[in-house]
Structure 1
Amino acid sequence: MPKQSIPRIEYLRVQNYRALHDLKLEKITPLTVFLGPNGSGKSTIFDVFAFLSECFTDGLRKAWEKRGRFRELRTRDTDGNIVFELKYREIKKSPLITYHLAIAEGTKGPYVAEEWLQWRRAERGGYFKFLDFKEGEGKVITGEMPDEQDERVFEKLESAEFLAVSTLGQFAKHPRVSALRKFITGWHLSYLTADNTRSIPEAGAQERLSPTGNNLPNVIQYLSEQHPERLEKILDILSYRVPRLEKVEASIMQDGRILLQIKDAPFATLILAKFASDGTLKMLAYLTVLHDPYPPQLIGIEEPENHLHPRLLPELAEECRAASANTQLMVTTHSPFFIDGIRPQELWVLYRDKNGYTQAKRTSEMRGIKEFIDEGASLGNLWMEDYFEFGNPLKNQGAPRKN
């Protein structure tokens, strides 16, 4: 996939979503890592992407119900709509598009209070909305390159619970809307566990790893059949990081299920994946995600350090950066070893302010960090030696320290 064809999110604002009362992230990089104490909001940011993706694939009501409705979703002791705002580019140097989604709750459940798409065509032109909906009805400009002077067509959705971008994006006459729908429905959020990768699923090649990793044997089967050179590369990397590992094989059993087996040197007999180490299986799963021949346009990985040897984590961070040439990666972590492989502009530290709301600051904007890095220090050591402005859970609950 050519690099210039990858959509990139450059800005995110979230209001009234759990601990994210009003959080802004600007100048988001292709690889973005979130660090912070327990309860600082890392998983909540991760869940923002999961929630949006589920709204598009499963519907607003299902995503809302799954998370405990507004009672659990809306920031405590506040009222008002839950609001998401993304700024992204479809391709490099294309116009910046803003997507705004406000969700409210009525007597019959959730509904879309407001939803719009905005851009400006020329460098000196004004911003205008080419999709503008409120409570299930609004106007949209059709065509490949909507212009402010173009005719706006009135549309009414069957229900205010439906998302206009998700609904209208199914029609070819709205290519910019369709592009956003395709982007969001293609996101991959990974909640891998070693136990799930040990499953013995029904045989059948599958192109993409599931969020839990329970179809890992199917993905290995797909790669061996359709992209053997990609599987060979994955196994070369894995064998370098897991001593004595020689081979990973997916074989079909008589009952129609697929079995993942692993061979270690110098033994001739393969062992079942369920007897392999947690770290081996998780590393294999991460590599299949990061080396996907046709990767999702956004990948989220939560706490990749679990079950992996600390010395492997800086290399995994580099693997993530290499993959970010073909996708956008969002990663949450607790590991100083993982962030040793991260650059200051890629790392955001989260903390709760005095009101209990999540705030975030990029390490490249913290006093003294750039100078330490220029002198050869690593981010992991700076964090553990308490050079970050905040984020230490043992000092003032991780909030900013006083000068």
Structure 2
Amino acid sequence: MARQKRLTHLSLENYRSVRSLDLELSPLTAFIGPNGSGKSNVLSAIRFLSTTASKDLESAIAQFGGFHRVHREAAGTGRLDPVRIGVAGIVTAHASYNAPDEYDLAFSQKKSGRITRDEAFVFKRAPGQGRRRRIHVTGAEITTGDEDGKASASDSRDVQFALASELTTGLFAAQAVQVARDDNRGIVEFAEFLKSLIVFEPQVREIVEPVRSAGGRDDRPPVRLAADGANLAPVLEQLRMQAPESYGALVSDMKECLPGLEDIVLDMRGGATDYTVVQIVERGARQPFDLADASYGTVRMLALLTALHQLNPPAVMAIEEVDSGLHPYALDVLVERLRTATGRTQLLVSSHSPTFVNRLDPEEIVVCDRDPESGESVIPAVGSGDIRRAVEAAGGMGAGELWFAGVLDGVPRGA
């Protein structure tokens, strides 16, 4: 089995509400806190970084509303300190927890409006104790060499070359960087990893629309569930054909969450083109009904479980308001499935629900708060060790109950 790729660390500076953040990431990390505390901004930073790998920096800034929307100005100073997003992870062939891949992107805007950026990527070229490779980009110039700047006989080919634009990131130009020197190929792998990261936000209206059928083939490459879940039907169709046991497990999970549910069936309908309609079979009903007629919570739960059971999950998946629209009865199943899924995909989720948080381990919880004076996000507001000690001292109260009571911070100031 191929080694699972994942992020181990995230750091932010001056990104939206976040002045400074330095965070270790678990296989399952849940961001909890009141509205406006910065949970969504952390997940937004992950999405922004992925966008720079897919569309370049200038396009990413524009897509996220312009520099003024992604940058947090130092209160009362007018300073435009750089936005910085840094990640570490185990992605390339020789990365490890002790020597992870590291990527850092910093960008700022001059008074003239010109965007400038500086980025660096460090990775191991070979197994063992050898020096790591460093690719540094500033302006339109890329410099490749060893992390410590020392040269050896094999480093005589270290090169400098120019990109087409000062806003072309090394991630976006990864293929060109590799061509410049073949042992720079780690940046291509890291760029592809970042491109695959998604923030999953199921959109019920799009999910229930009929979708063209997969055509009955069972030998196609796995289809990944879209970030909005709009291709739910073909993903389920493929799961049923290629992994019937996984499809059966998904249906079993849905039955646990919805006691009246008997089955989930896929109805192939003809017309100008064949398309697939997801249908729900309920106990006592005379016939199945289309997913479009199901409740919001039913559609969303099916989308979440499909994301977790799918054949080809992304390496890292963030889920906004993971428990939204779900009955507390379903949360046991959801948390169990989230943990199981971390064997194939790293999960970053946000939640407002104490009932959901009660089911998490302290090491999986990141409490988010906001400084009432500066307006800056405080993340984490309390360490996982303090959460564990509070739970142990609470005599049976769960982390969610302690958080709701204000013991762990991360609640509205008026609460």
Verify same fold: TM over 0.5.
Answer: yes
Counterpart in the other structure of 1:100: 104
User: Which residue, 160, 173, 177 being the options, matches 1:154?
Assistant: 160
Cα drift, residue 111 of structure 1: 4.6
SS of structure 1 residue aligned to 2:88: strand
| C-alpha distance in structure 2 between counterparts of 1:309 and 1:392, whole Å | 22
Q: Residue deviations 1:38-68, cap 9 Å, x none?
A: 1111111110011111111233222211222
| C-alpha distance in structure 1 between counterparts of 2:36 and 2:43, whole Å | 13
After TM superposition, the score normalised by the length of structure 2 is 0.85
Cα drift, residue 213 of structure 1: 1.3
Are 2:191 and 1:181 equivalent residues in the alignment? yes
SS of structure 1 residue aligned to 2:313: coil
Counterpart in the other structure of 1:15: 13
| C-alpha distance in structure 2 between counterparts of 1:356 and 1:179, whole Å | 38
Could you tell me which amino acid in structure 2 is paired with residue 13 of structure 1? S
Corresponding residue pairs, total = 388
Aligned ranges for residues 320-335 of structure 1 at < 5 Å? 320-335=338-353
| C-alpha distance in structure 1 between counterparts of 2:263 and 2:60, whole Å | 40
Counterpart in the other structure of 1:200: 210
Aligned ranges for residues 1-400 of structure 1 at < 5 Å? 1-2=1-2, 5-25=3-23, 27-77=24-74, 78-90=79-91, 93=97, 95-105=99-109, 111=115, 113-119=117-123, 130-141=134-145, 149=152, 150=155, 151-169=157-175, 171=178, 173=182, 174-204=184-214, 207-250=223-266, 251-256=268-273, 257-353=275-371, 354-361=373-380, 362-366=382-386, 368-372=389-393, 375-388=395-408, 390-395=409-414
> Are the equivalent residues in 1 in contact too, given 2:256–2:330 (CA < 8 A)?
no
| C-alpha distance in structure 2 between counterparts of 1:123 and 1:182, whole Å | 21
Could you tell me which amino acid in structure 1 is paired with residue 239 of structure 2? L
| C-alpha distance in structure 2 between counterparts of 1:331 and 1:179, whole Å | 25
| C-alpha distance in structure 1 between counterparts of 2:117 and 2:53, whole Å | 16
SS of structure 2 residue aligned to 1:266: coil
Could you tell me which amino acid in structure 2 is paired with residue 160 of structure 1? E
| C-alpha distance in structure 1 between counterparts of 2:53 and 2:123, whole Å | 22
Query: Does the C-alpha gap of structure 1 residues 84 and 152 become closer, same or farther in structure 2, counting only changes over 3 Å?
Result: same
Q: Residue deviations 1:83-104, cap 9 Å, x none?
A: 1111212265562222111123
Identity of aligned residues (%): 26
> Are the equivalent residues in 1 in contact too, given 2:278–2:291 (CA < 8 A)?
yes
SS of structure 1 residue aligned to 2:73: coil
Query: Does the C-alpha gap of structure 1 residues 122 and 158 become closer, same or farther in structure 2, counting only changes over 3 Å?
Result: closer
| C-alpha distance in structure 2 between counterparts of 1:184 and 1:9, whole Å | 10
| C-alpha distance in structure 2 between counterparts of 1:355 and 1:87, whole Å | 29
SS of structure 1 residue aligned to 2:105: strand
> Are the equivalent residues in 2 in contact too, given 1:111–1:135 (CA < 8 A)?
no
In structure 1, runs of 5+ residues without a counterpart are 399-403
Cα drift, residue 180 of structure 1: 0.8
| C-alpha distance in structure 2 between counterparts of 1:141 and 1:178, whole Å | 16
After TM superposition, the score normalised by the length of structure 1 is 0.87
Query: Does the C-alpha gap of structure 1 residues 377 and 371 become closer, same or farther in structure 2, counting only changes over 3 Å?
Result: same
Cα drift, residue 209 of structure 1: 1.4
Could you tell me which amino acid in structure 2 is paired with residue 385 of structure 1? A
| C-alpha distance in structure 2 between counterparts of 1:127 and 1:169, whole Å | 23
> Are the equivalent residues in 2 in contact too, given 1:140–1:155 (CA < 8 A)?
no
SS of structure 2 residue aligned to 1:231: helix
SS of structure 2 residue aligned to 1:101: strand
Cα drift, residue 305 of structure 1: 1.5
| C-alpha distance in structure 2 between counterparts of 1:113 and 1:360, whole Å | 25
Query: Does the C-alpha gap of structure 1 residues 237 and 81 become closer, same or farther in structure 2, counting only changes over 3 Å?
Result: same
Q: Residue deviations 1:257-280, cap 9 Å, x none?
A: 332222112334111111112222
> Are the equivalent residues in 1 in contact too, given 2:31–2:366 (CA < 8 A)?
yes
